[in-house]
């Protein structure tokens, strides 16, 4: 569980960091051409990229593995999936501690802001009037959002300015900005270790206010001056509140007022901006998903670790590793530390292929302590050769608390018979039609154990050896 948590955190943190860098690089260009509202929309790329890497990876083709790679996989440690290096639980505990610390800090900031508002009362128009003026108006409350106005709201602003600042807060409510800020607060808790996310949170809140300002100006295009004067009259707060939309010093008032002088993007440009933002979001999400390592089709064992309890009652996990193919015909050379099984001479001569599934008890020294045949096809043909080969193999034992321990491992071995070959040239005096010829592969067969009526070799290198057996009809 610890390893899985750390893996998910690392993947999603990398995805969000890449998305943040992309948004930070494009926000200026997007804003100058399509407006602040499109920039605010572009920030959706960050959580979507995180979700993309959590989707199941694409299924890769079930390709055959070269013999050398297959034999190397047989050295895969007999891993106890419940035993992880000691540092992983420590890292998870440190992460949980950080999550709780940031969560406690945000709760304290929220409660401090609510206390700072002082005694509040409900007005006849449904607004909440606070006992202070700094940082207000604001929208607070996640489940029951409310607009809170300053104590001097009625005489600080004239009627037109009151209408504009209230429209600003109502835009926050209509867009669900409080809920969006709650998601941001949660991400800052989970990824407290990522400084890029905290930097992005400040820019995101700033873009949120700019987008809200642009929405107000779009509705009241002739009242830019009045809206700018209302901004200047507002007392900015120095406090940061996770679950509120309020006027604080982190929002650059100079940049917000400068934006009021720019022409608003038209309907076509706004539509084009939304299309560009959507295209960027989908493309980045697709790249994040495609960057994951592909998984194998269901039912293949290549690189897939599956555990089960040993039926013998040892309690050790059984590790299913990729199939080992003793591909006699392809001429692959085995790794020297894992020699492949000898191909039985009779089976090779008759062109018989098959497979054997072995269950091996690997000791702490890496040697096979017990070898059992779970299944073999055809029965009994390749069992002895497989067991003999496995007893010569050396495995890397499982590690538990840094010490080697014994465990069970399943190893399926496939035997593929060589294809039939044409009869070799024979010297004069021998009737070539009287013999059935087969190639002898000295890497997997012992020539001394083969029954041959005639043995021939090529005159020129490479000197291939052939085994000839007199045809049954001519043995009389």
pLDDT tens profile 261-271: 888 888 899 99
312 — pLDDT class (breaks 50, 70, 90): very low
Residue 189: count other Cβ atoms within 10 Å of its Cβ: 18
| pLDDT at residue number 339 | 67
Per residue in 143-162, pLDDT (tens digit) is 888 999 988 888 889 999 99
pLDDT > 90 fraction of the chain, expressed in percent and rounded: 28
What mean pLDDT comes out for the span 285-290?
87
C-alpha–C-alpha distance, residues 470 and 474, integer Å? 7
Strands 146-149 vs 318-320: parallel, antiparallel or unpaired: unpaired
Q: Are 235 and 133 in contact (CB under 8 A)?
A: yes
C-alpha–C-alpha distance, residues 386 and 140, integer Å? 72
354 — pLDDT class (breaks 50, 70, 90): confident
Q: Are 457 and 465 in contact (CB under 8 A)?
A: yes
Residue 279 structure tokens: 């295209």
C-alpha–C-alpha distance, residues 298 and 306, integer Å? 12
Nearest to 244 by CA among 114, 127, 101: 114
Q: Are 362 and 395 in contact (CB under 8 A)?
A: yes
pLDDT at 355 over 90: no
Residue 75: count other Cβ atoms within 10 Å of its Cβ: 15
In a domain, 124, yes or no: yes
Q: Are 164 and 225 in contact (CB under 8 A)?
A: no
In this predicted model, which residue has the larger pLDDT, 376 or 404? 376
Q: Are 354 and 376 in contact (CB under 8 A)?
A: yes
Last residue of a domain, one of 222, 253, 284: 253
322 — pLDDT class (breaks 50, 70, 90): very low
In this predicted model, which residue has the larger pLDDT, 247 or 129? 129
pLDDT at 84 over 60: no
In a domain, 64, yes or no: no
| pLDDT at residue number 102 | 96
Count, residues in the chain: 476
| pLDDT at residue number 399 | 74
Mean pLDDT rounded to a whole number for the chain = 77
What mean pLDDT comes out for the span 49-65?
67
Answer positive or negative: Cα dihedral of 152, 158, 164, 167. positive
| pLDDT at residue number 434 | 76
What mean pLDDT comes out for the span 355-373?
85
Range of the domain at 92: 85-196+214-253
pLDDT at 93 over 70: yes
In a 3-state reduction of DSSP, which class is residue 195?
A: helix
| pLDDT at residue number 402 | 73
In this predicted model, which residue has the larger pLDDT, 436 or 39? 39
In a domain, 288, yes or no: no
What mean pLDDT comes out for the span 88-116?
91
Distance of CA 118 to the CA centre of its chain: 47
Structurally, how many domains does the chain consist of?
2
| pLDDT at residue number 358 | 85
Q: Are 386 and 354 in contact (CB under 8 A)?
A: no
Residue 112 structure tokens: 């401090």
In a domain, 70, yes or no: no
**27-31, 133-137, 228-232: the lowest-pLDDT one:** 133-137
pLDDT at 374 over 90: no
pLDDT at 328 over 50: no
**99-108, 205-214, 319-328, 462-471: the lowest-pLDDT one:** 319-328
134 — pLDDT class (breaks 50, 70, 90): confident
The number of C-alpha atoms within 13 Å of 299 and in the hemisphere containing its C-beta is 2
38 — pLDDT class (breaks 50, 70, 90): very high
pLDDT at 308 over 70: no
What mean pLDDT comes out for the span 289-313?
46
In a domain, 118, yes or no: yes
In a domain, 346, yes or no: no
Distance of CA 325 to the CA centre of its chain: 30
Place of tokens 């700019």: 210
In a domain, 315, yes or no: no
Give the C-alpha distances (Å, rounded to integers) separating 467 from 347, 453, 464.
14, 8, 10
In a domain, 332, yes or no: no
Listed in sequence order, the residues at least 6 apart from 252 whose beta carbon sits closer than 8 Å to its beta carbon are 206
Place of tokens 């209230």: 166
pLDDT at 275 over 90: yes
| pLDDT at residue number 475 | 54
| pLDDT at residue number 390 | 83
Per residue in 69-81, pLDDT (tens digit) is 333 333 333 333 3
């Amino acid at each position: 569980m610890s390893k899985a948590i750390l893996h998910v955190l690392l993947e999603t943190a990398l995805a969000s960091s890449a998305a943040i860098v992309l948004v930070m690089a494009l926000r200026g260009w997007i804003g100058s051409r399509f407006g602040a509202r499109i920039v605010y929309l572009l920030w959706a790329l960050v959580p979507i990229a995180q979700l993309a890497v959590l989707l199941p990876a694409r299924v890769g083709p079930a390709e055959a593995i070269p013999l050398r790679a297959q034999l190397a996989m047989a050295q895969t440690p007999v891993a106890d999936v419940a035993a992880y290096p000691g540092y992983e639980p420590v890292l998870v505990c440190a992460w949980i501690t950080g999550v709780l610390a940031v969560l406690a800090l945000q709760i304290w900031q929220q409660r401090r802001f609510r206390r700072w508002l002082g005694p509040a009362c409900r007005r006849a128009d449904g607004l909440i009037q606070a006992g202070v003026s700094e940082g207000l108006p604001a929208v607070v409350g996640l489940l029951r959002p409310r607009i809170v106005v300053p104590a001097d709201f009625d005489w600080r602003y004239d009627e037109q300015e009151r209408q504009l600042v209230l429209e600003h807060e109502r835009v926050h409510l209509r867009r669900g900005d409080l809920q969006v800020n709650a998601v941001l607060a949660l991400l800052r808790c989970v990824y407290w270790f990522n400084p890029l996310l905290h930097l992005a949170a400040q820019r995101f809140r700033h873009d949120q206010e700019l987008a809200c300002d642009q929405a107000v100006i779009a509705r009241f295009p002739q009242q830019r001056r009045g809206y700018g004067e209302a901004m200047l009259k507002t007392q900015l707060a120095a406090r940061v509140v996770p679950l509120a939309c309020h006027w604080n010093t982190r929002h650059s008032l100079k940049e917000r007022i400068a934006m009021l002088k720019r022409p608003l993007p038209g309907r076509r440009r706004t539509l084009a901006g939304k299309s560009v933002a959507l295209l960027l979001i989908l493309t980045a999400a697709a790249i994040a998903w495609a960057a994951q390592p592909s998984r194998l089709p269901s039912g293949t064992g290549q690189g897939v670790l599956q555990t089960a309890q040993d039926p013998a009652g040892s309690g050790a996990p059984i590790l299913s590793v990729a199939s080992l193919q003793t591909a006699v015909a392809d001429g692959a050379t085995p790794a020297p530390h894992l020699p492949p099984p000898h191909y039985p001479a009779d089976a090779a001569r008759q062109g018989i292929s098959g497979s054997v599934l072995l269950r091996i008890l690997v000791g702490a020294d890496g040697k096979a302590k017990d070898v059992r045949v779970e299944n073999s096809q055809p029965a009994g043909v390749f069992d002895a050769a497989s067991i003999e080969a496995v007893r010569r193999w050396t495995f890397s034992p499982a590690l538990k608390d840094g010490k080697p321990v014994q465990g069970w491992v399943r190893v399926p071995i496939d035997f593929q018979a060589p294809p039939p070959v044409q009869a070799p040239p024979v010297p004069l005096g021998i009737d070539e039609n009287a013999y059935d010829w087969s190639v002898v592969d000295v890497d997997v067969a012992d020539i001394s154990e083969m029954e041959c009526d005639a043995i021939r070799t090529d005159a020129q290198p490479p000197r291939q050896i052939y085994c000839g057996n007199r045809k049954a009809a001519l043995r009389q």
